[in-house]
Amino acid sequence: MSLVQVLSVASEVFPLVKTGGLADVVGALPAALAAEGVRVRTLVPGYPAVLAGIAVSARHALGPVFGGPATLVTGTAAGLDLLVLDAPHLYARDGGPYAGPDGRDWPDNAFRFAALALVAADIATGGWADWRPDLVHAHDWQAGLLPAYLHYRGAGSPPSVMTVHNLAFAGKFQPELIRLLGLPDAAMQPDGVEFFGALSMLKAGLRFADRITTVSPGYAAEIVTAEFGMGFDGLLRARGAALCGILNGIDTAEWNPATDRYLEAPFSAGLWQARARNKAALQVLLGLAVDAEAPLFCVVSRLSWQKGLDLLLAALPELLAQGAQLAVLGAGENVLEAGFRAQALAHPGRIGCVIGYNEALAHQMQAGADALLVPSRFEPCGLTQLYALRYGAIPVVARVGGLGDTVIDANPMALGAGVATGVQFAAPSTVLLEGAIARAVVLYRDRPVWRRMQINAMASDVSWRGPARSYAGLYRAMLA
């Protein structure tokens, strides 16, 4: 089996910079691919947190990139082989990867991410003497221009894979930028990067990549429809033969209930007393009544329309009527933050919420809650339900995208066969969410059934092994 060399290009990588599941995937896939004979080097922007977090091995001066000096820094962090684009005029600032401290997108985002794609294209086409990949893998809109740059360079370009982690982020910019970004005017048309009058970096990737993947088979089937396609469904239907879904895995070392450093009491399947200690600790932490019998639901999520948490706010009277508790960890839209804060104030001891981003608490929620609620309107893959499975928190999920692919609903046949791992409901509906919560509580009160589901959930293979094999198979098929 010959070694395949891949240049992976992304705007986030765990543990250095993360706003969502993209970072987890980009951070975890390389180690899993190494076992499949694939060497991945990951190109990321030189944000301050990235430059501070890597062990540098070398620096290579590049020519100026979009009006400022740039250096390619090679190094490692957390076992990752990183190429960092150090371009201070683009990345050396306080704030998030996409927006400033005021929450507004950086005004030069088009150049910040085009630079990433442009340098990737240079590396891919032999512009860096030290190394050249067999294939490039672009993630989401931030890397979307890479397949377009390669397309216009023509011969000598390696094949490209574009992975869509979330079609909702189109990476749209003013069409006038087309030349400044180094693309021909001809690219600014419907059969190019034009998207409803704008320049879309995601469209560039979807149009020009040799293969398109998305992060679950369910989402791959959904995004070719008008309902889920976000305006890209026509293009995706046309490119159907190049599109496939490969489920995400999770980092099973980082997310291991038996060794998790964040937990009150590490545990594994069957050690329910230890798990109960995490529940009590979580109840204390969230200001909930310490009650081993009350079914404790939790949410760990960006608070956004996508996640359907407005439906959960509407379903709270039913959740409380069932005698259940709710713990929420999340940040995002003001109305949702305010909504959960208000509910926590109105129902002390029954509803607790922490607004903010907290990695340790995310682990503690999965270990302490009885069930995780994910009522998403759409969900490309979803990682939190995978963590929940591994930690024996029963996922209660909307049947969309990757949620439908990863959770086995406790319907009568699955219960009869002893294979259920969670509860699914048809999205998006408050009434059906209420029904799912009620169904979960009934299951919870039938202790042998619940334990069986927890054991099944914790035995689910949520590792990267299978997915890595699929990506390696795809790469090899493309190079054959």
Which residues contact ligand ADP (rule: CB under 6 A)?
20-21, 24, 300-302, 329-331, 357-359, 362, 381-384
3-state DSSP: the chain helix, strand, coil percent, rounded to 5? 40, 20, 35
- Name the residue nearer to ligand ADP (CB basis): 383 or 410: 383
- Name the residue nearer to ligand ADP (CB basis): 302 or 439: 302
Order of strands, sheet of 296-303, starting from the edge strand that comes earlier in the sequence: 351-355, 325-332, 296-303, 371-374, 394-398, 423-425
- CA-atom Rg of the chain in angstroms: 23
Give min distance, CB of 369 to ligand ADP, in A.
Answer: 13
Give min distance, CB of 21 to ligand ADP, in A.
Answer: 3
Tokens of 306: 């996508």
Q: How many CB atoms lie within 10 A of CB 414?
A: 16
Instruction: Map tokens 């909702």 to a residue.
Output: 168
Give min distance, CB of 229 to ligand ADP, in A.
Answer: 18
Give min distance, CB of 376 to ligand ADP, in A.
Answer: 8
The identity of residue 107, as a single letter, is P
- Name the residue nearer to ligand ADP (CB basis): 28 or 87: 28
Give min distance, CB of 24 to ligand ADP, in A.
Answer: 5
- Integer CA distances (angstroms), 163 to 26, 185, 230, 471, in order: 11, 26, 16, 11
- Name the residue nearer to ligand ADP (CB basis): 44 or 294: 44
Count the residues in the chain: 480
Give min distance, CB of 192 to ligand ADP, in A.
Answer: 28
- Name the residue nearer to ligand ADP (CB basis): 180 or 360: 360
Nearest-CB residue for ligand ADP:
21
- Name the residue nearer to ligand ADP (CB basis): 21 or 144: 21
Q: In 3D, which of 205, 206, 197 has the Cα closest to residue 234?
A: 206
Give min distance, CB of 247 to ligand ADP, in A.
Answer: 12
- Name the residue nearer to ligand ADP (CB basis): 322 or 384: 384
Instruction: Map tokens 């995400």 to a residue.
Output: 248
Distance CA 453, CA 420 (A): 6
- Integer CA distances (angstroms), 324 to 188, 314, 315, 444, in order: 54, 15, 12, 11
